[in-house]
Amino acid sequence: MLTFFISHVTLNIMFGEFNLIEKYFVGRQSRRKDVLLAAGDDCALLKVPEGMSLAVSTDTLVAGTHFLKEANPAWVAHKALAANISDLAAMGATPAWVSLALTLPKPNESWLAPFCNSFFKLADYFDIHLIGGDTTKGPLSLTLTVQGFVDAEKALRRDGARVGDWIYVTGELGDSQAGLDVILNKELRNKPFAEQLEQAHYLSTPRVLAGQALLGIASSAIDISDGLAADLKHILRCSDVGAHLELSELPVSSQLIQFIGSVDKAQQYALTSGEEYELCFTVPEQYKGAIDAALAHCGCQVSCIGQIRPKGQFLLSNKGQPLDWPQQGFDHFQ
């Protein structure tokens, strides 16, 4: 109890001096109509549109585990918010609000200023209002809770895949893992496109438009945070089905191919690369022809990479040759 009291007083003196919350977090955005009261009071007051359900997701990023302590604060802010928005995208939800619990070792304004500029830039891009949060002293970490709206009947869940459905992914896979390799191993900085891949690790674009466009078309969806093989397995487990994946269909960037040295190796990377924040989704045969038109305005490519099979079948092939299904998922920095 006493420890709590002392730490709280210390915190108020530290943060009160600079009035950090007021300066950096309150009143930075024009208010959405559904935000009746935002950060600054004891609670935010919010209005969910008639007929919609609230989609809610929380994620924590800890320095040393999800990003390095010395990482660019602007990139950390982008990564934290993008990772959370990606969960809304994977349900087909429209983002609306976010709250931010920030733990800082000290009130470091040269860290907070770029962090907040980047955070609000991405929030404003998706019309997401920061409706509150908490600011405390301790080892650097961020916990975000995003909220959005979706018709619960149509939401893209993990349990809707059926045998015969086609498996798709948005964008290109593997860049994020290669970027993490560069972050952790300085020797790789001399390789082609190392700098671009490092940025790609932090600065993904959540597939919000694609998620919304897939409502009524996709039978299931998930965002790729632990690696394609591991995340697809979540869909398979929840839907009680198996799958066949064709490695040579995995979309990879030309920069990844040049960084790694071959298309084959790049596609191996794409299979397990985590924190991609692309969508993996399944589509019944009758809607296959509707995908290109539905996603035309979303600004991302989609690739068909396999098909749902009966329960118990986990087949992986490369140009028809059978391979072992990878066991491991993505495991952050340690």
- Between 20 and 208, CB nearer to ligand ADP: 20
Among the listed residues 35, 39, 228, 266, the single contact to ligand ADP using CB under 6 A: 39
* The one among 92, 133, 171, 274 contacting ligand ADP by CB under 6 A: 133
Non-local (6+) Cβ contacts of 318 within 8 A are 246, 247, 248, 264, 267
Distance of closest approach, residue 307 Cβ to ligand ADP, in angstroms: 45
102 near ligand ADP, judged by CB under 6 A: yes
Q: Applying CB under 6 A, what is the total number of residues that bind ligand ADP?
A: 13
Compute the least distance from the CB of residue 119 to ligand ADP, in Å: 9
- Of 11, 14, 18, 21, the one binding ligand ADP (CB under 6 A) is 21
- Picking from 60, 56, 25, 68, the residue whose alpha carbon sits closest to that of residue 144 is 60
Is 66 known as a binding-site position? yes
Cα separation, 132 vs 40, whole angstroms:
7
Residue 228 interaction partner, one of Mg ion, ligand ADP, none, beta carbon < 5-8 Å per kind: none
- Helix 228-239 to helix 263-272 angle (10° resolution) is 50
Report if residue 132 touches ligand ADP, rule: CB under 6 A.
yes
Q: Is 120 in the site for ligand ADP (CB under 6 A)?
A: no
Q: What's the rounded Cα separation, in Å, for the pair 276 and 175?
A: 8
Residue 21: CB minimum distance to Mg ion, A: 9
Determine, following the binding rule CB under 6 A, whether residue 40 of this chain makes contact with ligand ADP: yes
Q: In the complex with ligand ADP, which residue's Cβ is closer, 133 or 160?
A: 133
Task: Classify residue 106 as exposed, middle or buried by CB count within 10 Å of its CB (0-12, 13-18, 19+).
Answer: exposed
Confirm or deny that 223 is annotated as ligand binding.
Answer: yes
Q: How many CB atoms lie within 10 A of CB 228?
A: 27
59 is in an annotated binding site: yes
**Among Mg ion, ligand ADP, none, what does residue 133 contact (CB within 5–8 Å per kind)?**
ligand ADP
135 binds, among ligand ADP, Mg ion, none (CB under 5 to 8 A by kind): ligand ADP
Within 10 angstroms of residue 202's Cβ, the number of other Cβ atoms is 23
CA-to-CA separations, 260 to 192, 285, 332, in angstroms, rounded: 9, 35, 20
Residues linked to residue 57 through DSSP beta bridges, in sequence order: 146
Nearest to 221 by CA among 297, 269, 289, 291: 291
Binding residues for ligand ADP (CB under 6 A): 21, 25, 39-42, 100, 102, 130, 132-135
